[in-house]
A = this chain, B = another copy of it.
């Protein structure tokens, strides 16, 4: 089997850096790996279609379920979110998590996916230099997730300034030495609506797609 083209196991990449917030649907999440925390990006785009959801990025079952839940929540709350339900029906949405060589799973990208989709359907900017991690549920709650310490360290390395966490993860932050938290502002939330209020700006992105 020496001849197999196996880019999946090829040399390591550098850790990611925060990027700008000029593109609708691009949001920064926080991930835990066995060798430390990392940031990851959720990207989403719309193309004309019939409301189909396509998910890529070498994702496991649970992470794909998060995308389903985020979309279902948006459908069920389109009015309050200022989203035209017809837009959801008339476009396909594709969610992608870059760095395909890394398998990814778990529910903790839930609020990041939610924010990505709300930005996409509203074409509004995501707040600058913000990152987030938290599970979502169908009824609109945000649930705590693990690996908080590693995720915070990764956020600092990536020049993140604000972080959204579940209220129940507050105690995890309180256990971290204060010097590691310098320069970071934390938002603790219980509801998915709070995430959107914090992360989605009123301003539209440059050259918003007309939906």
Contacts and interface: CB of A to CB of B under 8 A. Distances in A.
Given A106-B100, A144-B13, A57 B65 contact: yes
Contact of A5 (B1, B26, B48, B105): B105
Interface string A1-29: 11111111011111000000001011000
B147 A11 contact: yes
Contacts of A146: 7, 10-13, 101
A7 B47 contact: no
A32 interface: yes
B6 A45 contact: no
B33 A6 contact: yes
Given A34-B4, A65-B57, A76 B47 contact: yes
Within the oligomer, what is the number of copies of this chain?
6
A24 B191 CA distance: 16
B62 A33 contact: no
Contact of A7 (B25, B69, B105, B137): B105
A58 interface: yes
A60 interface: yes
Contacts of A107: 7, 99-101
A39 to B, nearest CB: 11
Contacts of A65: 56-58, 100
